Amino acid sequence: MAETACHRRDTCRLCGGADLTRVLALAPTPPANAFVPEAALGQPQESFPLDVFFCETCYHVQLLDVVDPAVLFRDYVYVSGTSPVFVKHFQDYAAQVARRFALADGGLAVDIGSNDGTLLKAFRDEGLRVLGVDPARDIAARATEQGVETLADFFTPALARRIRDERGPAAVVTANNVFAHADDLGAIADGVATLLAGGGVFVFEVSYLVDVFEKTLFDTIYHEHLAYHAVGPLRRFLAEHGLELIAAERVDSHGGSLRGMAQKAGGKRPVEASVAELIALESRLGLDRAETLKGFAARIDTVRDELTALLADLKAQGKTIAGFGAPAKATTLMHHFAIGPDVIDFIVDDSPLKQGLYTPGLHVPVLPSEALYLRRPDAVVILAWNFAQPIMRNHAAYAEAGGRFIVPLPHVEVH
């Protein structure tokens, strides 16, 4: 393992505790979005450990192997705007937050990990000034060109001070599917506390440990996602960084996510009952005990055995199999279940940024969705399973012509 590309920390990134228990060992993989062009297929791709640890002090679940964020994010290829489902999700999100917290026209909205600016466009429609922060240089540049000013940088306390000095305090700071991505979450939280106005609100969405556990969503575990958040550990962590968690809600995105809302310590908003309710749920499920999470591996094995047996049977019959969607989660699933080019001939994806590339490590080609009709595979594994319903609706013609859709998670289903 190259020391410059990956290192293993030995303390919990939320509380600093050193009493850490490994609860799950997934197959090592390259970075989940490290797609490669055809010209680079002969070059080796390094894989890194994908081990999950439980903090016995604060009960936080996390990866300790940290891949250099510049490797992960500087040349990122995921964009939100290619998914109509996510565009609608962010439009609803912005409208709900603007109403719930009575955000005034002209207030500043800052999105950490703003990607292509999809959420900020929705906030702009609500009358706010907007600013994005995202280290993916090309995506940030395109977002700025399209009218959503985006700083191509990592969010730090120093950057937060600079934004506040130049533009004033923020009425709302958001971080969606990125508040689990940083090794130094404390610095992000400190930056948020610095940037927020006195009555401002921090809103974030992350994959929720309850959903990961209950639905066996192991494929949401990959190197970008260093933290697998639960409300109990988060409430304590935010309090240590001058923020108070005032509401916590479960939302449907990514198969099950947590939307947290926080204010600066001492703020005027009351803490809603949802915070205590979700902490109680986490305790009932046993997510504050390492033994509970150790049982997760057996459930993953059950899904693996069912899916791989189904695919092996199809191959034995001489059937062709493709994949639909090349999300980051597909890297974990394909590597842990050993589903490579000998099983899946190609993958289709609607993102032009991924088309013409090959999947990380296993090197399955990614093609435009027209390939579904040109090549007519007998079965399609929906690797972007959280979008299974709209994918099947949009491509009903494929099924009507005799094709089969296979949804791998949360349960193996054949349509």
Q: Which CATH number is 242's domain given?
A: 3.40.50.150
pLDDT, tens digit, 9 for 90 and up, residues 135-161: 989 999 999 999 999 999 999 999 999
Reported as a pLDDT band with limits 50, 70 and 90, residue 279 is: very high
Reply yes or no on whether the pLDDT at 86 is more than 90.
no
319 shares a domain with 398 = yes
371 shares a domain with 227 = no
Reported as a pLDDT band with limits 50, 70 and 90, residue 1 is: very low
User: Does residue 165 belong to any structural domain of this protein?
Assistant: yes
> Which residue did the predictor score with more confidence, 398 or 179?
398
146 shares a domain with 118 = yes
Which phi and psi (to 5°) does residue 56 adopt?
A: -75, -10
- Mean predicted confidence (pLDDT) in 329-354: 96
pLDDT reported for residue 70: 80
Query: Residue 339 maps to which CATH number?
Result: 3.40.50.720
Reply yes or no on whether the pLDDT at 353 is more than 90.
no
pLDDT reported for residue 237: 98
User: Does residue 111 belong to any structural domain of this protein?
Assistant: yes
152 shares a domain with 200 = yes
- Mean predicted confidence (pLDDT) in 47-57: 97
Reported as a pLDDT band with limits 50, 70 and 90, residue 75 is: low
200 shares a domain with 98 = yes
The boundaries of the domain holding residue 345 are 303-414
Range scoring the smallest mean pLDDT among 4-8, 41-45, 182-186, 207-211: 4-8
Q: What is the mean pLDDT of the chain?
A: 94
pTM: 0.92
**Three-state helix/strand/coil letters over the chain:** CCCCCEEECCCCCCCCCCCEEEEEEEEEECCCCCCECHHHCCCCCCCEEEEEEEECCCCCEEECEEECHHHHHCCCCCCHHHCHHHHHHHHHHHHHHHHHCCCCCCCEEEEECCCCCHHHHHHHHCCCEEEEECCCHHHHHHHHHCCCCEECCCCCHHHHHHHHHHHCCEEEEEEECCCCCCCCHHHHHHHHHHHEEEEEEEEEEEEEHHHHHHCCCHHHCCCCCCEEECHHHHHHHHHHCCEEEEEEEEECHHHCEEEEEEEECCCCCCCCHHHHHHHHHHHHCCCCCHHHHHCHHHHHHHHHHHHHHHHHHHHHCCCCEEEECCCHHHHHHHHHCCCCCCCCCEEECCCCCCCCCECCCCCCEEECCCHHHHHCCCEEEECCHHHHHHHHHHCHHHHHCCCEEEECCCCCEEC
User: Does residue 35 belong to any structural domain of this protein?
Assistant: no
317 shares a domain with 258 = no
Number of domains in the chain: 2
- Mean predicted confidence (pLDDT) in 262-278: 97
Reply yes or no on whether the pLDDT at 74 is more than 70.
no
User: Does residue 169 belong to any structural domain of this protein?
Assistant: yes
Which phi and psi (to 5°) does residue 125 adopt?
A: -65, -25
Reply yes or no on whether the pLDDT at 79 is more than 80.
no
> Which residue did the predictor score with more confidence, 86 or 272?
272
pLDDT reported for residue 2: 42
Residue 185 in tokens: 């979450």
